[in-house]
Amino acid sequence: MILASAGSGKTYALTNRFVALLAHGAAPERIVALTFTRKAAGEFFDEILGKLARAARDAVFAKQLAGDIGRPDMDASDFLRLLRAVVDAMPRLRLGTLDGFFARIVRAFPFELGLTGNFEILQEHAALVERRRLLRRMFSNGSAGLDEAQREFIEAFKRATFGAEEKQLARRLDGFLDEHLETFLAAPAAELWGNPACIWPDGSEWLTAEPGQVAEAVTTFRGQMAQRDLNEKQAGRFTAFFEALALWSAGAPLPRAISYLLENILDEWAHVRRGSAEITVERRKVMLGPDECRSVATIVRHIIGGELGRRLEITRGIHVILRSYESVYHDAVRREGRLTFGDVQRLLLPRPDGPMLGGEEENETGGRLMIDFRLDAQFDHWLLDEFQDTSFGQWSVLRNLIDEAVQDPTGARSFFCVGDVKQAIYRWREGDPNLFHEIFDHYNQAVPGTIAEQHLVASWRSGPAVIECVNAVFGRGDVLAGLFPGTASESWNRDWRAHESARPTLNGQVAWLHADDEAARFALTVRLLHELAPLERGLECAVLTQKNATATALADYLRREGGIPALAESDLHIATDNPLGAVLLALVQAAAHPGDRFAQEHLAMTPLRAVLDRDGLHTTEALTTRVLAQIHADGFERTMAFWLKRLEPQLAPNDLFSRERGRQFLAAAALFDATGGRSTADFVAFMERHVVRDADLAGVVKVLTIHKAKGLGFDVVLLPDLEGDRIDQRREGLAVQRTADRTVEWVLDLPAKLFFNHDETLAAHVRAAEMEACHEALALLYVAMTRAKRAMYLITSPPGKSVSRNYRMLLAETLGSSARPLTVGKLACVGAWATGDTGWHESIAPRAEEAARPSSPLTDGMAGIVPALRRPARRPSAGQSGCVSAAQILSAESGLAVQFGREVHALLAEVEWREMADPAEWTLCAATPRAVAEARACVAAPRLADVWERKAGLEVWRERVFEIVLDGAWITGVFDRVLVDRDGTGRVVSARVFDFKTERLPRSGEVKDAVLRHQGQINLYRRVVAVLTGLEPAAVCCELIFTHEGARATVPWP
Amino acid sequence: MLSAANAIPRYFLPWDRPWLPQVAAWLARDWQPDGPLDLSTTLAIVPTRQSARRLREALAEHAAACQSAVFPPRAHTPDTLLAACVPAGAVATRLESLLAWTEVLRHVEFGSVAAVFPVPPVRRDFGWARRTAEAFFQLQSQLTEGGLAFADVAARATHEAERWAQLALLERMQLTELAARGRREPHEALRAGARQPKLPAGITRVVLLGLPDPLALSLDLLLAWSREISVEVVVFGPASEADAFDGWGRPLPEVWSERRIELVDFEQRVHACANPSAEAERVVAMTQCYPSPDGSIGIGGANADVLLPLERALAQVSIAAYNPEGRRRKEGGFYSLLAALAELTRDPSFAAVAAFARCPEFCCYLQTAAAGDFTAATFLAQLDDLHARHLPVDLARALAVNRERDSALGVGLRLVEGIRAMLTRGEFPQNIMAALTLMVGARQLDLEEANDVIAADAMEMWRDVLGECAAAWASFPEISTAEWTEIALEAFGESRRTIDKPAGALDLQGWLELLWEDAPHLVVAGCNDGSLPDAVVGDAFLPEALRETLGLKSNAARFARDAYLLQALAASRANSGRLDLLFARQSAAGDPLRPSRLLLRCAEQALPARVEFLFRPLPAARAGAPWTRAWAMTPRRVAPPERVAVTGLRAWLACPFRFYLSHVLRMEPVDSSKTELDARDFSTLCHAALEAMGRAPFLRDCTEEKVLREFLVAELDRVAGARYGRDLTLPLVVQLESARQRLGKVATIQARERAEGWIGLRMEWAFALKIAGLEVRGKIDRVERHEGTGALRVLDYKTSDAATPPQKSHLRWARPDDDLRPAWRRTVAAGREQVWTDLQLPLYLRALAIEFPGTPVSCGYVNLPKAVGDTALVLWPELDESLQASAQACADGVAAAIRAGDFWPPVESAAERDPFAALFHHGVEASVAWEGTT
Ligand code: SF4
């Protein structure tokens, strides 16, 4: 178990571990290495190969690596062997993401897990479409009106939104699903939701007051207060209180008149309960005796109880809503084999009744899923990356497999995990840093020393300046404890180890600078970047923010105000962030909804209008008809491509951006088409949500959120977005209380502070939540401050203004708060702390653009190339012309006619000579009696006698396929029947071509136009026969045979 | 069997030049060019359809060189060969076989197959049965390649024996199901056919041409034939390599797994690309180096995913591409029509109707059927309108709420209804055929017009699919019409439309076809591990271990095949020509990809360098072009309005430009996803009820809260019922509930106020004021007179969720950036500089002052917001003369500005979420070119 501080070579440790396992004889495919992001997985593999490759060709490195992995005996040739082994095992390797690994297991056990056949992973958009579809279904009602479930749903919704009768249902519902669905799936049981018995097993004093008592208490207390000699300010307070109380009902906002006294009473709550208290009213004490306390207590309990009761009700309502949605969703989506990654994981969660993942040793019974066999693998060694982000659920899925490995008696198997609790910034995504210590204890309690722990504190990323700052801030256990008393600081300090830099010579600077407000912070960012000129110096530079929105705004600002090539690595809405995409969407909308005046006018504001006019689409009618038809026939990508081409000339020649967006738009449209959808509404929704994450770009200042920066390193890092209130704020949303093994104890829609503050259970829950939040916030700052290699600049407003325990205060307490002039190179600023070399960057010479690796010149080796011959392909019968009505095609008869024709031809092809024709045999074959009859008649027809006549020297070609090059075209065709007559020398003297037509001739029996129709085809046959026989075309006789009439017609040679 | 195969003669054609011309020459080797080249008695076994085509073309060329022509050999791929050997008749189609499975699955007793279905399905419906049937059918096909049935596996399986035994049981049941219908199971028939194959008439010799992995089963068959007629194997590769192949010309895994692959100028010819589209761009770049690409360059994809980007990239530079695979009919328009029809049959929800209504076929039908006195566009517009107004959930209710029967809407809806009636009443497949014929039957298809040809093809295919279904129905009567539709639709969608190659188009070929490509320059994209060679890892039924035990195609065999093919391609282009191999580091979806293992089959000592080359970090992409504005919007300019509603002034004050868009251009979006009342609908309903209350004479003096409440609620339900029908959808029920609550509170106030002497005077009193040449119209919710004082009072009902007092909604505190605003926008109230945001109530007063000169008038809101206890009557005492005067001045100013067409500059940041956001990028003012601005 490796606790690797930031930059301390986590990947290095992992890859070494992998190599070590190989070196000690583990088969590559028996090692499972799981990471969180696909990117990380890819890099991990590349690292391993890189390492082995280098060791294989560099003896010195080989020696070193051999040492590192505890096999000093190994040399380059050994590593070459390992390299080959890994390469050959590539497809069987198990390096990937947890999600991917789980999905693979599920694919191997669909039936065992209650799925049918294959399943697809629901991507975000698809999931959204599903939700819309389901909600519509839940909303609509049969002619019988609403059903039971719907009535229940409505009741629930009323409860869930009690005190705020909703005007708009859908939005609120989306909110519920977005916020609470995960919670529900973790705790579907109704009794956990808003159930006082779970929250207060021994009852809650707040829920005791009965209406009768309350009324009574109010009257008494009012009377009691009337007797007291209060100054009229105080009297006023009480009167106001009682009046407001009379009007107030739970759920209504608490008027100041009530809250004022309530707060003051609660401040003395302990005494009030004891029956004697002094409460402050208008800065003067008011003594309350036992009787008064009793009535006051009743009133207070009534108020608080009222609110709590309402919250309990709301929570239960929410549960029912989620449950009703879930039940529909489960049947309609999951059962149909469409799963999200979350579903996949839940499928694998061990359940008392369900099957369990297991390995070979176990006997096949006992509902174990033998992953070894179906995944063609046996997993001996487990490597888990970023372990602090592993969720309890993920761990539960793996636990049994890893148990097997850890507890393997032979010790031939192993478990290895790397992570850093100090970087646990994904709690909100179920990341569960506590696992780290729990697992450690779990295994070591069983058998001490099962798991060894190792701390990595030397940073291979950051230079001394950065490390000094990190230590100065996070090393101050005392300050942390003082600012954030409780488990947050405790666990932080427990895991903390002083960092050191493994690159002592790397010079740089760290400074904490002040700027008054956001504008000033942005401005200072620009000035710093101009001073440092990182790009010109070939330094990677990043500006980190807390929120995506800030990143986007800041990047915009840097480009606009600073002329700095900055790029927000947040997701780009390529379809909506530019006029081109916007108008293409408007086009679709306008076409699908002719009445949409918005879209219509939108088109009219853009060059597209002129384009449409030029295409003759002046009216909405024309537009609708044309564009809908296009979409219908070709899908969105092609339709959009068509109009994009038309629009292209309207773009400025140098407008590369819009053209790039155009391409991205088409690519996205293609993705949508792939879903098989044709709904314009879905398309527009898809495009509006579609985002493109820019691949890592060189030569730009990257502006990104701290979360996205995790795992990355930059020469220079700027932190201009560290503002915010107290960092130990509990995350909004339902309160979910969990036990040690993470099972949910209760769920509650938490009321305002005033209402829970004096309830131990709730207050305790909130405190714990705040501790977690606090720890996560510290982790976030830690991650932010450990991205820098050389230099880091923290920019905040000057400390001291506020008293809230936020980042600014933390910095002030640890780095000192007295402002003084500081310099960064030639730039003079004000700040409170700095270290390192102010001129560090000046020593780095601006370097010239080094040319990118010359990719192989395209044209070399093409010079001598002689193209292979390519000719247009033609078929005589193809290129049929004329019109045919749809009805005709659709009619079943036409289908039969085609088949009938085929059969008759097939039958006649069997006939070599008339006397050989064996109708008996025909009737055996699959052909319809009608076809047989017609063929038979055709052979028997006196008028056609010579077609079937056998003669000496006569050669017959039946259904003979030919290939020929004629007039530069490659022609493929089939002769129905050709009779070739040879003389004694074998020279061809005559040839007759017969082409069978099964079509019915018009009543008149008129064959002329039939001949006209077919003579193109037939004369082509004539020429082919001429080539094949050496005859003159004119000498070849060609006839059409009408099988139905048994008629024949000669086709003339023009 | 190998030993037996050794009897079969093998011929080797050197791989130092392309294969195709050689094989043509080889086939023609003892031909005297005085007659036609007659190969009609030869049967050629080739890997794919496309390779057969190439062979015929090459032969034609060969003959053409001697001014002659060819009777080509009969050609088969291994699987068509097997199919051809199945005795005709009585064999079930794929469809029938699948249906037999569904029968089995729907009736099997799960207890007896617990090892196959440890978890029985919740709903054992047709859908489930079909998907499972699909899985089993595939499994049968995979096993049949090796000539195996489920039972054979059960006999040999080392693992999961019980499961296979039960699968065998299931398969037996399927066979029985078919037998009961006088049909043979197709896979079983294939295996039988291969056991005693009947020689095809007129064939005297069989040649296997360039066939590195024939189906095992087809070899049994050929072996049988080899005893009667000559069977020969032609291998692409020098005779010196003979030991690298088995008797059937299959590369030997033991040889090829170890063997090096010689690739010339490796680092020049192997290209690492960021992702598939980067690969595509690279290929296009190479293609463009040739004046006539077709014939010079041959493009192949080692996996299917690269072909689509390739096609797109080529299309963008206007190079025609030809994918021999054809296109799935699912992607065509006719399919979407059928899908829409099916959906309409399944469930006539409004969404289904709306989708169907947008099928061009329906639009045409509508146009003609409606005798053209209106257009489809009108119909669609009215349909959206109906939806926005009445929120019908399905066709029936749409018809019910629609008032004008003879409008485009009425006609259109009835046509839809008619078609649906046909679909639901009639029997499959006549019902759907009838519906189609009714809609498109009249259409004339011009067989020289591309689109019509496509349409014709689709219809023919559909006709044949239905034909097949109809045929199958005889044996499976218990399947419902809906299920049949589902089946037919899928069968149609999955079918592919293959066309003859258009002249000059570039083939986009699969990996196996490249051997037959004779273009001197080969480019292969998608050379990624997992696709080259393709490897199966993990399988629900046939994991690798089992495949090997059963002798099915194993990963090792795949590797050998692809190693050989790559070597052959490389060798054949080594001397003249060129071979480029591309691979992506990331999939389109962003998953990391690895280069093909084959690229690493080099000398050991070269391996490290190779690895470092192939896995080198790619030079990071250049920064994308900076954000650039394609164009500035130029809104239509129309004359300033002569009249506006009072609310218009508020809009103008909020943002003159957005006012222009909303009130002058009347830009309003259509929201087709609307499922519930929006704020406007909601307030309309409430107002209707309130108005009725005010107008009802018998309530004029009512002080009974209860009576008033009941009246309001009843009124609300009446209005709602009239507009949304009697049976309301779930959201509406909830929303009306909310409305009732709120109205209930009004009743309380009303009762109280009446008791205090306020009597309703006017309800919804409409007025119009001429202000600075602009007519301002308004409707006052309620005017009251106090019976004692005779004073007047104006009340406006507010249904917005938050209760704001009049002062707050009419004025806001001034901000520094307001300075530019004209003075008349500003005023001083509550002792500080404020800015007018609304003028509603002051204008009401102004109107009343004209109507009732000299009477004192007060004004205020009746708020009906959501929070309990919030509803209240809030008057506006602060509205004194001076403030009123300032409001008048402001109104004059706004009116004048509107008349003067002063709609610029816009307000950059809209108050709440901006309905016009879609128009603006990086600044409102910057997004719009407003001529005539100074
Ligand atoms: S991407 Fe779109 S939404 Fe995001 S900032 Fe740019 S314009 Fe706004």
pLDDT value, residue B418 = 94
pLDDT value, residue A852 = 45
For residue range B403-430, list pLDDT tens digits in order: 887 888 999 999 999 999 999 888 888 8
The one-letter amino acid code at A510 reads: V
SS3 (DSSP) at B901: coil
Partner-chain contact A163 B867, CB within 8 Å:
yes
What phi and psi, each to the nearest 5 degrees, are found at residue A416? -145, 125
What's the rounded Cα separation, in Å, for the pair B445 and B462? 16
Give the DSSP letter of residue A67.
H
SS3 (DSSP) at A625: helix
The residue written with tokens 């195996």 in the block is: B148
Comparing A969-978, B491-500, B799-808, the range with the smallest average pLDDT is: B799-808
Alpha helices in B426-554 (DSSP H): 430-440, 450-473, 481-494, 544-550
* Distance from residue A776's CA to the centre of ligand 1 (Å): 29
113-142 in chain A: CB under 8 A from chain B: 113-114, 116-118, 132, 135-136, 138-141
pLDDT value, residue A1001 = 74
The one-letter amino acid code at B27 reads: L
pLDDT value, residue A697 = 66
SS3 (DSSP) at B71: strand
Compute the residue count for chain A: 1054
The two three-digit tokens of residue B906, written as one number: 């816009």
775-794 in chain A: CB under 8 A from chain B: none
| Strands of A889-1043, DSSP E | 954-966, 969-982, 988-997, 1036-1042
The most confident of A285-289, A467-471, A514-518, A904-908, by mean pLDDT? A467-471
Look at residue A366 and tell me whether its pLDDT is greater than 60.
no
Partner-chain contact A867 B72, CB within 8 Å:
no
What's the rounded Cα separation, in Å, for the pair B381 and B349? 18
What's the rounded Cα separation, in Å, for the pair B167 and B162? 9
Look at residue B859 and tell me whether its pLDDT is greater than 90.
yes
CB A542 within 8 A of CB A718: yes
Task: Quote the mean pLDDT of chain A.
Answer: 87
> pLDDT > 70: what percent of chain A?
93
Choose the closest CB to B670 out of A116, A582, A593. Answer: A593
pLDDT value, residue A364 = 45
The one-letter amino acid code at A643 reads: W
Please give the model's pTM, rounded to 2 decimal places.
Answer: 0.86
Contacts of B852 (CB under 8 A, 6+ apart): B792
Q: Does A309 touch chain B (CB under 8 A)?
A: no
Residue range B642-656: mean pLDDT, rounded = 94
Partner-chain contact A867 B337, CB within 8 Å:
no
DSSP element (H, E) containing B584: strand B578-584
CB A894 within 8 A of CB B465: no
**Which of B537, B541, B870 would best serve as a mutation to test chain A binding (most A beta carbons within 10 A)?**
B537
> pLDDT > 90: what percent of chain A?
39
Q: Does B519 touch chain A (CB under 8 A)?
A: yes
For residue range B33-84, list pLDDT tens digits in order: 888 899 999 999 999 998 999 999 999 999 999 889 999 999 999 989 998 8
Distance (Å) from the C-alpha of residue B883 to the closest C-alpha of chain A? 30
For residue range A563-584, list pLDDT tens digits in order: 888 887 667 889 998 999 999 9
* Confidence bin at A699 (pLDDT 50/70/90): confident
The residue written with tokens 């000496």 in the block is: A952
What's the rounded Cα separation, in Å, for the pair A148 and A159? 17
Q: Report residue B176 CA to chain centroid gap.
A: 40
Compute the residue count for chain B: 934
Partner-chain contact B625 A660, CB within 8 Å:
yes
pLDDT value, residue B2 = 46
What's the rounded Cα separation, in Å, for the pair A346 and A351? 10
Partner-chain contact A599 B669, CB within 8 Å:
yes
Pairing of strands B230-236, B10-13: parallel
What's the rounded Cα separation, in Å, for the pair A806 and A793? 18
* Confidence bin at A165 (pLDDT 50/70/90): low
Residue range B697-709: mean pLDDT, rounded = 90
For residue range A475-521, list pLDDT tens digits in order: 999 999 998 888 889 999 998 999 999 889 999 999 999 998 888 99
- Which chain A residues have a beta carbon less than 8 Å from that of B666? 597
CB A1024 within 8 A of CB A970: no
DSSP lists the bridge partners of residue A285 as A280
Look at residue A855 and tell me whether its pLDDT is greater than 60.
no
Residue range A274-282: mean pLDDT, rounded = 89
Residue range A899-911: mean pLDDT, rounded = 88
* Confidence bin at A885 (pLDDT 50/70/90): confident
How many alpha carbons lie under 13 Å from residue A1048 in its C-beta half-sphere? 17
What's the rounded Cα separation, in Å, for the pair B113 and B120? 10
The one-letter amino acid code at A912 reads: E
Neighbours of A981 (CB within 10 A): 15
Whole-angstrom distance between the N-terminal and C-terminal Cα of chain B?
Answer: 92
Scored b (16 or more CB within 10 A) or e, B732-741 reads bbbbbebbbb
The most confident of A761-775, A1004-1018, B795-809, by mean pLDDT? A761-775
Look at residue B3 and tell me whether its pLDDT is greater than 80.
no
670-699 in chain B: CB under 8 A from chain A: 670, 672-673, 675-679, 682
The two three-digit tokens of residue A685, written as one number: 């929704």
Comparing A46-60, A332-346, B156-170, the range with the smallest average pLDDT is: A332-346
- Which chain B residues have a beta carbon less than 8 Å from that of A134? none
A·B CB contacts under 8 A: 534
pLDDT value, residue B622 = 61
* Distance from residue B921's CA to the centre of ligand 1 (Å): 8
Comparing A450-454, A864-868, B97-101, B861-865, the range with the smallest average pLDDT is: A864-868
pLDDT value, residue A850 = 47
* Distance from residue A111's CA to the centre of ligand 1 (Å): 44
For residue range A138-152, list pLDDT tens digits in order: 887 766 677 888 888
Give the DSSP letter of residue A694.
P
Look at residue A157 and tell me whether its pLDDT is greater than 70.
yes
> pLDDT > 90: what percent of chain B?
57
pLDDT value, residue A501 = 92
Write the burial class of residue B240 (CB in 10 Å: 0-12 exposed, 13-18 middle, 19+ buried): exposed
Task: Quote the mean pLDDT of chain B.
Answer: 89
DSSP lists the bridge partners of residue B42 as B205
More confident call, A925 vs B367: B367
pLDDT value, residue B160 = 85
For residue range A389-423, list pLDDT tens digits in order: 899 889 988 888 888 888 888 878 889 999 898 89
SS3 (DSSP) at B686: helix
* Confidence bin at A1003 (pLDDT 50/70/90): low
What phi and psi, each to the nearest 5 degrees, are found at residue A852? -65, 150
- Planar angle of CA B141, B147, B151, nearest 5 degrees: 85
- In ligand 1, the atom with minimum distance to the C-alpha of B922 is 7
The residue written with tokens 């009762």 in the block is: B751
Comparing A242-246, B229-233, B521-525, B839-843, the range with the smallest average pLDDT is: A242-246
Alpha helices in A163-231 (DSSP H): 169-186, 196-199, 211-227
pLDDT value, residue A860 = 66
CB B470 within 8 A of CB B436: no
Which residues' Cβ are closer than 6 Å to ligand 1? A 552, 572-573, 576-577; B 921
Neighbours of B254 (CB within 10 A): 10
